[in-house]
Amino acid sequence: MAYGTDLPTLPDEHLLSRRPWYIVGIGLLLLSVPLRMPLLIVAGLLVIVLGAVPEIWYRFCLAGVSVRRSFSTRRAEIGDEVILTLTIDNRKLLPLPRLEVEDEVPEEGVSIRGARLETSVKPLRLLQINVLSLWAFQRVTRRYRMRCLARGIYTFGPMTLRSGDPFGLLTRERSETAVERVLIYPLVVPLERFGLPARAPFGERPAPRRLLEDPLRIGGVRPYEPGDEPRRIHWKATARTGELQSKVFEPSAHHTLAIFADQRTYDNPVLGYDPALVELAISVAASVATWGLEQGYAVGLYANGILAEAEAVAPTMRGPNDAPLDEAAIQRAIASAKLRIRIPPSTSRDHIVRIQESLARVIPYFATPITEILAAEESRLPYGSTVVYIGTPSGLGGEGIEQLRRLRARGAAVALLLVGDESLEAGDLPLTRVGNAATWDRLLNETLALRGTNRWGQQQPRESVPPGTEATPRQPRLEMEVGA
């Protein structure tokens, strides 16, 4: 059975409740005529006014009222201060003795100074309450200082407006569904802060402009020569000519740095995850990516986990061979909650923006094993790539170690940057422990202290910058909207 939209509109119960006032008022006016009592006329008019005034305000109080929420920037770094502005307009002759604006804001990650905040029925949400009076055609602007305390994408809204009559008898409510999003980048610090040498953190490499062969770009074939690897044999050309033929790969002018950021901190996902270790791993990944692009690497990023606000970022994600996802694939990815980060290597100017924004959005819920990510990307990585695993020993496991050894056997340089205190038998693979939960707490506290705040958003004296603790300058950001 189909349900149309032409159903009869039910009468407003608040307006129906005003009808007895009119009936009583008119009755008093009519009764005053035969009784010749002027006092009944005054009483009747007063009753009619008491019935009409609340109804007039109830019908028109929210008409012509607009509320705009804006931010001084939609993208920020941890510790930055963002100005949140609310502009309320009353574009009509009818004044508003009381207008309440109730806006949903995040409970964690940001701190809004000077705002009246109340608990919401929704988890991890608060209600920012603004109560004011507006005259006819009056505009009120209120500004709040918002401190960014943790990476992520934070949604503001929806919003509820409430107003009523001067007597407080009737209250009208309207919902504004528009939302705004603010994205906070992950923490980027010099690699020395993680115990890595600044010059060659992953071992010595050849000259930056040396031409490397890219196995994904076949430029032709040549006769087989003793010593050629079996993977170079071109079997179709061999069958056609009757002699062994080897592939000739086109050169690539950039070294490739492939970063695999693991969001799983425990082998069993039922145990959840360690937030401090996840944040440390993301900070290491963002810092390594920034360093790699500054050094001329073609940097790629691969991570498990789920992207927050998937509907907003799905159109920018890529499938196999860097092909854009069609609409059906986007909807399947969102519905199955498996949208993950896959950013192929590049040296373009805006590449660091894409990497850092993706890392800002990632959340570690229901993360797929990193071994599946490694298996999917193993054949796509160019020959001679530098592969960096960032995560916990539990997330990698023995299977991951074997995959990384296979990558090294294929010509890749492999490095393990481990977070946490667990032990791992990596054999001959180079391994560096970049820190634990205490390391992340220290880095976060130092960064916020340099901005004159603490991790709860409370102001404190700005500390001087110790040598070597300055944040790494970011690449130029692209000016684009964050979500819808």
Q: Whole-prediction pTM value? A: 0.77
CB atoms inside a 10 Å sphere around CB 204? 7
- Pairwise CA distance, residues 35 & 31, whole Å: 6
- Pairwise CA distance, residues 327 & 151, whole Å: 29
- CATH number, domain of 137, equals 2.60.40.1530
* 234 and 179 housed in the same domain: no
Q: Is 459 helix (H, G, I), strand (E, B) or coil?
A: strand
* 293 and 435 housed in the same domain: yes
Return per-residue pLDDT of the chain as tens, 484 residues.
333 333 344 456 666 666 777 777 778 778 877 887 888 888 888 888 888 888 888 889 999 999 999 999 999 999 999 999 999 999 999 999 999 999 999 999 999 999 999 999 999 999 999 999 999 999 999 999 999 999 999 999 999 999 988 888 888 999 999 999 999 999 999 999 998 876 667 665 544 444 445 555 565 677 877 666 777 788 788 888 888 888 765 545 458 899 999 998 887 777 788 999 999 999 999 999 999 999 888 899 999 877 876 544 444 444 545 555 555 554 554 444 446 788 888 888 788 999 999 999 998 877 788 999 999 898 888 888 899 999 999 889 889 999 999 999 888 899 999 999 888 887 888 889 999 999 999 999 999 999 889 888 888 877 654 444 444 444 434 333 333 3
- Residues ≥6 apart with Cβ < 8 Å to 172: 58, 61, 62, 162, 163, 164
* 245 and 294 housed in the same domain: no
Extract the tokens encoding 277: 């270790």
Q: Tell whether 432 is covered by a domain.
A: yes
* 99 and 139 housed in the same domain: yes
* 262 and 143 housed in the same domain: no
* 202 and 223 housed in the same domain: no
Q: Tell whether 313 is covered by a domain.
A: no
* 105 and 141 housed in the same domain: yes
- Phi and psi at residue 54, in whole multiples of 5°? -60, -35
* 48 and 165 housed in the same domain: no
* 116 and 150 housed in the same domain: yes
The domain in which residue 47 lies consists of: 13-60
Q: Tell whether 426 is covered by a domain.
A: yes
- Residues ≥6 apart with Cβ < 8 Å to 36: none
- Pairwise CA distance, residues 49 & 320, whole Å: 71
* 51 and 74 housed in the same domain: no
Q: Tell whether 173 is covered by a domain.
A: yes
* 284 and 431 housed in the same domain: yes
* 242 and 269 housed in the same domain: no
- Pairwise CA distance, residues 484 & 181, whole Å: 8
End-to-end CA distance of the chain: 34
